[in-house]
């Protein structure tokens, strides 16, 4: 095959999108799960265009307080007019979001490695590898297969578009894209910090010698580039001003066990868990265990004492702090020799800032929070493989084989994980299998079994929930109600 042909960006992009579509092909048989019910089937405001003004002012379904995402709300309004309550149209949006994100990831990596040529094998280059792994990575299934999450990830598309156009000095396009991102999904508010990171590690000023030492280099770089970044901070501040004026704060719940200190101790372990899932996406879950007895979704029956028993001297917490500090130190030490790796490390850490419970968000851990973060890992992975190839540690055939194996694993794992989201029952059945001590999983499964009339299975699920948490009053109430109904019949 002609090498120049297969290295053409449009050829590589088409191939990546094809395999990404294959990996997500089975989502079109999936129905609505969890919050999809509230946004699509029950939210009355989506029924009429006249409600657009309320959505711009922050209206949300009653069960979804504490957020201000007017662009997302308007998309729900538009899509209800187009698709009603048919899932396929919404899944088309989900796939489009992922393909557009993958497109931008390819060209972001292509732009970033302009300073470092990283040809892998005979025709596979770093942008191809990074975008391919992003398109197939199974950690993205919650972000894409779950409709409510994919509507949020629309903001990620605008985020990537803004970052890419910033790299190409298209400042007005970048600013407009940033504005759309901020008003779609709050996690994108970190964009200005990403731009600062870029200027400090890969920007033109960062590559120039500075006699004032490392900190002097930082000051010099910021002095020369903050004029480019300040408008993005201004727009982010404008979004926050509008949000606060509408009475929407930054918190969506309480600190874990109502203790900021113990919450932040716990979050050190969550950072390590996020990183481990990027590298080894094996056990995927909607409701991860934070610590034994306490799950990602805090309920009145969560083991608060388990959170409060934690200490900064606990080996796990010390290990997590050491791991975070060690990774950060590596990123700082190698910033001159391997700036792309430093940039990738910084990308992951910055993207997680909004979900570290500086302000409580209601969910202690979620895989969808890794959608933007994963780009940092893709940059590290693509660059690392390129360096291995460059120093001759592995031949071209071996490198292509390694990429093929990783890509095949990611794609197959994604396809399999999509099936867990096909219905609420499938999702919670999966949760009970991987979290057999989760009272929330068994209770939720019981609720959905009862809705479809599978009374015996509902009773069994409620019984399991009650056995795990005897004081789980909702489970006990539903269990007794079903038993009495069964007796009367």
Cα distance between residue 253 and residue 171, in whole Å: 36
DSSP codes joined into one string, 408-439: HHHHHHHHHHHHHTSSHHHHHHHHHHH-TT-H
User: 240: exposed, middle or buried (C-beta count within 10 Å: 0-12, 13-18, 19+)?
Assistant: middle
138 and 198 in a single domain? The answer is yes
User: Chain-wide mean pLDDT for the chain?
Assistant: 87
| Neighbouring C-alpha atoms within 13 Å toward the C-beta of 464 | 22
Residue 362 three-state SS? coil
318 and 451 co-located in one domain: no
Task: Copy the structure tokens of residue 148.
Answer: 């409510």
Q: How does pLDDT run across 14-60, given as a tens digit for each residue?
A: 999 999 999 999 999 999 999 999 999 999 999 999 999 999 998 99
pLDDT at 224: 64
| Domain match, 412 and 361 both | no
Residue 295 and residue 229 share a domain: no
- Residue 152 dihedral angles phi and psi, to the nearest 5°: -65, -40
pLDDT band at 206 (very low <50, low <70, confident <90, very high): low
Residue where a domain terminates, one of 422, 440, 468: 422
Residue closest to 90 by CA, chosen among 152, 19, 178: 152
Q: Determine the pLDDT at residue 295.
A: 87
The pLDDT value recorded for residue 116 is 44
Q: Could you tell me the residue range of the domain that residue 433 belongs to? A: 425-488
Same domain? 195 vs 327? no
Residue where a domain stops, chosen among 399, 422, 445:
422
| 97, 156 contact by CB (below 8 A) | yes
- Bridge partner list, 294: 291
Position 127 pLDDT exceeds 90: no
Nearest by Cα to 139 from 399, 441, 390, 366: 366
Output the pLDDT for position 115: 36
Our CA angle for 318, 324, 328, nearest 5°, is 140
pLDDT at 212 over 60: no
- pLDDT, tens digit, 9 for 90 and up, residues 419-440: 999 999 999 999 999 999 999 9
Same domain, 347 and 462: no
The DSSP secondary-structure symbol of 33 reads: -
Same domain, 243 and 256: no
Q: Provide the whole-model pTM.
A: 0.91
CA distances from 450 to 145, 215, 436, 457 (A): 25, 62, 20, 8
DSSP H/E element including 295: strand 294-295
Q: For the stretch 381-411, what's the b/e string if a residue is b when 16 or more beta carbons lie within 10 angstroms of its beta carbon?
A: bbbbbbbebeeeebeeeebbebbeebbeebb
Residue with the larger pLDDT of the pair 459 and 485? 459
What pLDDT, on the 0 to 100 scale, is given for residue 394? 63
Please determine, for residue 486, whether its predicted confidence score (pLDDT) is greater than 90.
Answer: no
CB 108 within 8 A of CB 177: no
CATH of the domain at 441: 1.25.40.10
Averaged pLDDT, 401-410: 88
- Among 366, 383, 402, residue at a domain's last position: 366
In order of 60, 97, 98, the CA distances from 16 in angstroms are 36, 14, 11
Mean pLDDT of 162-173: 94
- Residue 272 tokens, joined: 């390590």
Are 466 and 455 contained in the same domain? yes
């Amino acid at each position: 095959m002609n090498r120049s042909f297969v290295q053409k960006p449009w050829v590589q992009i088409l191939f990546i999108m094809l395999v990404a579509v294959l990996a997500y092909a089975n989502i079109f048989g999936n129905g609505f799960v969890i919050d999809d019910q509230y946004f699509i089937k029950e939210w009355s405001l989506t029924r009429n265009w006249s409600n657009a003004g309320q959505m711009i002012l922050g209206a949300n379904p009653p069960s979804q307080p504490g957020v201000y995402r007017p662009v997302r709300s308007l998309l729900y309004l538009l899509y209800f007019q187009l698709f009603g309550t048919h899932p396929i149209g919404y899944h088309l949006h989900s796939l489009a979001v992922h393909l557009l994100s993958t497109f931008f990831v390819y060209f972001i990596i292509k732009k970033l490695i302009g300073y470092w040529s990283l040809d892998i094998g005979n025709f596979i280059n770093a942008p191809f590898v990074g975008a391919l792994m992003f398109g197939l990575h199974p950690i993205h299934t919650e972000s894409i297969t779950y409709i409510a999450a994919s509507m949020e990830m629309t903001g990620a598309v605008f985020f990537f578009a803004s970052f890419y156009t910033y790299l190409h000095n298209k400042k007005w396009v970048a600013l407009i894209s940033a504005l759309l991102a901020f008003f779609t999904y709050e996690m994108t508010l970190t964009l200005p910090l990403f731009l600062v990171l870029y200027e400090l590690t890969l920007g033109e000023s960062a590559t120039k010698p500075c006699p004032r030492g490392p900190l002097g280099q930082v000051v010099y770089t910021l002095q020369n580039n903050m004029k480019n970044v300040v408008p993005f901070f201004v727009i982010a501040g404008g979004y926050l001003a509008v949000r606060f004026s509408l009475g929407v704060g930054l918190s969506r719940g309480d600190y874990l066990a109502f203790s900021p200190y113990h919450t932040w101790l716990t979050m050190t372990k969550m950072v390590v868990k996020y990183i481990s899932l990027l590298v080894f996406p094996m056990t995927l879950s909607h409701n991860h265990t934070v610590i034994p007895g306490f799950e990602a979704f805090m309920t009145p029956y969560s083991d608060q004492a388990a959170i409060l028993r934690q200490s900064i001297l606990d080996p796990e917490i010390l290990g997590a702090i050491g791991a975070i500090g060690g990774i950060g130190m590596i990123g700082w030490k190698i910033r001159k020799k391997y700036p792309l790796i430093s940039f990738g490390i910084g990308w992951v850490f910055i993207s997680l800032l909004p979900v570290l419970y500086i302000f409580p968000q209601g969910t202690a851990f979620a895989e969808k929070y890794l959608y933007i973060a994963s780009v940092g890992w893709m940059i590290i992975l693509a660059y690392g493989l390129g360096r291995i190839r460059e120093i001759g540690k592995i031949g071209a055939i071996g490198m292509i084989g390694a990429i093929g194996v990783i890509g095949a694993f990611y794609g197959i794992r994604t396809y399999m994980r999509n099936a867990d989201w096909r219905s609420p029952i499938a999702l919670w059945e999966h949760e009970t299998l991987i979290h057999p001590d989760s009272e929330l999983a068994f209770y939720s499964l019981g609720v959905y079994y009862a809705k479809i009339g599978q009374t015996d299975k509902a009773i069994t699920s409620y019984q399991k929930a009650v056995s795990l948490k005897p004081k789980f009053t909702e489970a006990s109430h539903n269990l007794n109600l079903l038993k009495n109904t069964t007796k009367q019949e």
